[in-house]
């Protein structure tokens, strides 16, 4: 809910549907969403597409996180 408010107020960025590059990260035992987000922190722009609230980030689906990071970063994430 808070993330939608931030999107409406332009505090967070949106990705247009035609720009989305779907990516499903492999199901490795120790690869979870927190590891993916931690890796993506080296790219400053990626954080602008995720919620500000940490509790909302923790609830994001694995495929959503991997798709957002892959759409913004591209091949280095793959």
Rounded Cα gap, residues 53 and 25, in angstroms: 23
Mean pLDDT of 52-59: 85
| Under 8 Å between Cβ of 24 and 75 | no
How would you label 49-65 residue by residue, b for 16+ Cβ within 10 Å and e otherwise?
Answer: bbbeeeeebeebeeeeb
Whether 4 has a pLDDT exceeding 80, the answer reads no
Strand, helix or coil for residue 1: coil
pLDDT of residue 43: 92
7-46: per-residue pLDDT in tens?
A: 776 778 888 888 888 988 888 888 888 899 899 989 988 8
The per-residue pLDDT for 42 is: 92
Euclidean distance between CA atoms 32 and 7, whole angstroms: 25
């Amino acid at each position: 809910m808070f993330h939608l408010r931030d999107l409406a107020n332009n505090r967070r960025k949106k990705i247009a549907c035609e720009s989305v590059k779907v990516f499903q990260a492999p199901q490795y035992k120790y690869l979870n969403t927190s590891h993916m987000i931690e890796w993506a922190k080296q790219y400053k722009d990626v954080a602008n597409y995720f919620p500000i609230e940490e509790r909302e980030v923790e609830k994001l689906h694995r495929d959503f996180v991997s798709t957002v990071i892959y759409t913004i970063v591209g091949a280095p994430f793959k």
